[in-house]
Structure 1
């Protein structure tokens, strides 16, 4: 093992000078102490910077990664918001992090620093220019306040992930300095070097770290560590003498313990600590190299990670066969706490943290993360600019691992939660079909949140499989090994991979490699021309254009339970021509109802054009008297439509314009009566007539679905035979904590034109309403109502979100309060009760109670005969939101005097329950999670 590591070091040094290219070398000696009461680190480091470049350096950029967590103005914070996370934005000072108490010195001379546009990067001015082939040693103390575990590093209770924790020199190459800020989406580009790190912490902790543990001993106190750290010129920190450690040394509880680690020619140093780690260790023989494998398992994960050591050894052997033998002396796997809100697995040299929930995914993720040692650790490309060369190639190898060890599960699960399931692969190819994908070779921060995972990981792996089919499996394996052999410890570029592939294959692969710079590549196996039938959700092992049959059910007050089936071709990737037909039998009305839809879709990079027509039939009322059987009145509605969605050219933005033109062609059953005379009686007999109606609609919408303060606005123009109405609706959400609690504000302004003043009933359904309209006022039949034409009982208390959307109702009046055939304006506010002041949090279950307030006015209130106190109307009360807002129940508690007078006059003393209204909003059950991350 010692011979192999020494040989690798000599090869590394030789390549620095022998190749036309060059690279810097940066070595670190660090002494650090963890204060687990305050979640801080106090440390001292020496940086030995060796300038192998042909340039004279007058300054060095230094990463202060922990400052990315200092406030909500950093690149890290802004990216989290763009990607849909508010947890850091709303975090407390206690949860944030920083690094300070810095004093950079060369010898006794203090160096000057300059700020940059990013607070986690500084410019360190050297005392004298650093010429080619010269080196400088820089020393500094540092104090790091660890953040809560928002991203890769920090604390969760007393589990510590100590990553990006010390002042680190930025990388300098032929392209200049890579002084990049810390990002959650986007990894790193670091110099190779040697690390000698002494970690002091309470003795009851166990530590997992980069490198090889060389010794442990009782450490100094925290006070000594802070006051006594000074550079020791006699110390030889960069090539420490190694000694074999047969087994982990268990620290004694209750004392400070120091753990000393050495790591050679690595790009970074990270460590994890927890008092509860269960440590499992073994060795792996790879030629002359003995690799010590360690798994650090939290008790809560003991069952899930029971075979993690076996998986780790298996991964080392598998990737060694793919690339070349693992050169490092140790490999360490850490299980993360189950309760992390945003769990993510992450790799560092010789060390990885795993967050998974099934044993198969633990195995595959260990393989993936351990595999980064070859790609991230040894090849060490610029991951911020070419993330695919690490993540994508690794995913390609991981697929081979899954295929070998889990062939029965490979690419068969419709799992949208991870980056490796067939589900994400389906969404990728859907996004490609919608022309919303991005090229493989972009900077990490240029991707939308979804495309970073889907393109960088899955699309790259698809491209690698395409390349494999082109050159053959044996050749792609030879390319992989040659690429690793030729460019270990050299920071290769895409051109280096291309040149290697062409040299090994003997082919010009320019056309194949050009695909990484373009969009639209789809794996040829994704969609075949054949059509297959499927019952229920089809499996995805075999791709095809499916026609799917699935049972369906529905319900309303008149039809009762409706049962039937649905035949459709809706699937991922989306097809240009889509259809759905769903006949159902109504057990109440004993009629055949149903719905159908046909659409054609055309996609460009910025647009989605849909031309569609739909139809639906169901009952909307019933009537019976002593002489007749019950009559059921129905609605048949046909809706031809054209919708154009226009997306922002920047896919990271969550903005969209929508233009919709449609017509509602309505055939409505109506109730009529005729007198019937018999020898014994005269009575009125009810019968049905049919009325045809047409409403044309133009809707223009703009929305920004950002996670912080999202908003949307739309203008709707409806025109019918007797009316024209124009309505503006704007919505804005004011977040006030990371739980996505806040205040939802809605503003409505409408203008109505009565085109048939001779008809006193022309405006009955279509006029502007201050209260949320009831079912019989839904003149386009666009809402779902349980009892559309009920006027008593709980079903009559359903309202829809439209117009003024007050929650109080005056249905028993011949002319509802707040109804207008001129103009109307209203503001609706609905707010969560903050957790800190919500007394309902004492309950053993979550009760999603909100407060609402509605304020509005309308034309008729300003006529001379109206009382002054009726000009501005209001209501307020409690709102219970269930099923993510799919069902909202409103309890008005205070309201305008005109409403109070109405309730006393018409509802009597026992009116509390009758004042309650509710709203059903089926729109929230769409794939809203996907719509926040994918622009479709």
Structure 2
């Protein structure tokens, strides 16, 4: 098709003749079958290390034909990636089908997936990778995605994020406008999580799917488990986590594992209890919130006092920064209450908890402290026009011109100054002074409130 030619999506006439087709699939617990007289078909093959060959196909219409002509290659790419990462694909074929039943993007079945319109090549590649990836967790492992959606969607999203990092860069950043990205290190996933968690309306990822709200389904089924696995990967090391996940696949392929089965394999592979990971991040809506409580220099050492203000004692990194890079950085095992950590004396610009933003920290503003200067725990002031996403490295004040009118003061030009961002802060305030052109006097209005939520689940 040329750029100006509209795709022909009309249906050709049906044949008056009938035929019978018989399909057989082994070791599947679900199936789907698609037919469309308009389908164009592309085929590719993938040779696996075992010597087996997987046939990779794409079925599509003229809608997004220019994107879908590469789709068989995307299927092949996804099967190769997941086979390397998790374990070899056991089925003889893998197929992606373009349909009007995209189900919010795509819907997976053993050996086949249907996908809706993607918009661009990267989105189609990532969509096919995600849907093909379900073969490992929904189809082969056979996880119960109704009761434990994270075992399918969440683990699969972790590998999809790996796929995106390998081929396209960090996932999630492109969802936010550029002017917001310039003022914050948050991505869309952290922003959505904190929006729910600070108001205590997040739900445990292990909640049955039909009991999760729409936002909490996105978080609990997909993003919290994916981020939790990335956190675990950075703590244990990528090779260590890979060996755990590959052993899980080896032990439980076609056996329908439950959460306790995955936990047993993970803790045996890690060689330690992972209560913070399972009981904290997956099986509850408890909050993680570390803080630097103080700093003291004594002789040739610096002592950093840390406090766990949350409910999860997960591991966390401590970094002594020398400019933009850490001079010293190491993992601390999770702890409750307070803990003091010694560092060798040095010329450090800042001491930081969780520099890589791996944890689910509720308030990061208290994760920084400067060894010298006044107001060591207060971030530099930043005055910004309009609005922005919270930046834990800055004390942000926002401003905007404002106009009002009343019968006494007449027209009143003014200025709105406020600290409100997304997600909500504990203390939020706004001040709006005006000058009355009719009265020649000052007027104004202000507001301040403190957001406090008792511990508990309000979802």
Q: TM-score interval w.r.t. the shorter chain?
A: 0.5 to 0.7
SS at match of 2:35: strand
1:702-713 paired onto structure 2 within 5 Å: none
Give the aligned partner of residue 709 of structure 1.
none
Q: Distance in 2 between matches of 1:258 and 1:544?
A: 66
Give yes or no for the alignment of 1:498 onto 2:259: no
TM-score by structure 1 length? Answer: 0.35
Give the aligned partner of residue 353 of structure 1.
114
Q: Distance in 2 between matches of 1:588 and 1:296?
A: 71
Going from structure 1 to structure 2, the CA distance change for 1:282 and 1:525 (only over 3 Å counts) comes to: farther
Per-residue deviation, residues 615-657 of structure 1 (Å, max 9, x unmatched): xxxxxxxxxxxxxxxxxxxxxxxxxxxxxxxxxx6x3xxxxxx
Q: Distance in 1 between matches of 2:287 and 2:394?
A: 19
Per-residue deviation, residues 49-77 of structure 1 (Å, max 9, x unmatched): xxxxxxxxxxxxxxxxxxxxxxxxxxxxx
Q: Could you say which structure has the higher strand fraction? A: 1
Residue 482 of structure 1 deviates from its aligned partner by: 1.0
The structure with more radius of gyration: 1
Give yes or no for the alignment of 1:302 onto 2:65: yes
Give the aligned partner of residue 329 of structure 1.
92
TM-score by structure 2 length? Answer: 0.67
CA contact (8 A) 1:392 1:457 kept: yes
Give yes or no for the alignment of 1:292 onto 2:55: yes
- Aligned-residue Cα RMSD (Å) equals 3.5
SS at match of 1:274: coil
CA contact (8 A) 1:203 1:255 kept: no
Residue 395 of structure 1 deviates from its aligned partner by: 1.4
Give yes or no for the alignment of 1:575 onto 2:341: no
Give the aligned partner of residue 199 of structure 2.
434
Give 1:281's match in structure 2, choosing from 43, 57, 60.
43
CA contact (8 A) 2:389 2:423 kept: no
SS at match of 1:450: helix
Give yes or no for the alignment of 1:366 onto 2:366: no
Residue 274 of structure 1 deviates from its aligned partner by: 2.1
Give yes or no for the alignment of 1:517 onto 2:280: no
SS at match of 2:364: coil
Q: Distance in 1 between matches of 2:404 and 2:76?
A: 56
Going from structure 1 to structure 2, the CA distance change for 1:276 and 1:435 (only over 3 Å counts) comes to: same
CA contact (8 A) 1:545 1:569 kept: no
Q: Distance in 2 between matches of 1:594 and 1:409?
A: 44
Q: Distance in 2 between matches of 1:326 and 1:336?
A: 24
Give the aligned partner of residue 265 of structure 1.
27
Give the aligned partner of residue 209 of structure 2.
444
Residue 487 of structure 1 deviates from its aligned partner by: 0.9
1:678-827 paired onto structure 2 within 5 Å: none
Going from structure 1 to structure 2, the CA distance change for 1:560 and 1:490 (only over 3 Å counts) comes to: farther
Give yes or no for the alignment of 1:384 onto 2:146: yes
Choose between structure 1 and 2 for higher RCO, CA contacts under 8 A separated by at least 6 residues: 2
Residue 453 of structure 1 deviates from its aligned partner by: 1.8
Give the aligned partner of residue 452 of structure 2.
602
Give the aligned partner of residue 528 of structure 1.
364
CA contact (8 A) 1:346 1:353 kept: yes
Q: Could you say which structure has the higher helix fraction? A: 2
Give the aligned partner of residue 547 of structure 1.
396
CA contact (8 A) 1:381 1:389 kept: yes
Going from structure 1 to structure 2, the CA distance change for 1:347 and 1:389 (only over 3 Å counts) comes to: same
Residue 412 of structure 1 deviates from its aligned partner by: 5.3
Give the aligned partner of residue 315 of structure 1.
78
Stretches of structure 2 lacking an aligned partner (at least 5 in a row): 1-8, 178-185, 289-358, 369-378
Going from structure 1 to structure 2, the CA distance change for 1:595 and 1:503 (only over 3 Å counts) comes to: same
Give yes or no for the alignment of 1:481 onto 2:246: yes
Give yes or no for the alignment of 1:469 onto 2:234: yes
Q: How many residues align?
A: 355
Stretches of structure 1 lacking an aligned partner (at least 5 in a row): 1-157, 160-201, 206-252, 416-420, 608-648, 652-936
Give the aligned partner of residue 459 of structure 1.
224
Give yes or no for the alignment of 1:398 onto 2:248: no
Going from structure 1 to structure 2, the CA distance change for 1:412 and 1:584 (only over 3 Å counts) comes to: farther
Q: Distance in 2 between matches of 1:586 and 1:307?
A: 65
CA contact (8 A) 1:428 1:455 kept: no
Per-residue deviation, residues 375-400 of structure 1 (Å, max 9, x unmatched): 00100022222111111111111221
Per-residue deviation, residues 56-109 of structure 1 (Å, max 9, x unmatched): xxxxxxxxxxxxxxxxxxxxxxxxxxxxxxxxxxxxxxxxxxxxxxxxxxxxxx
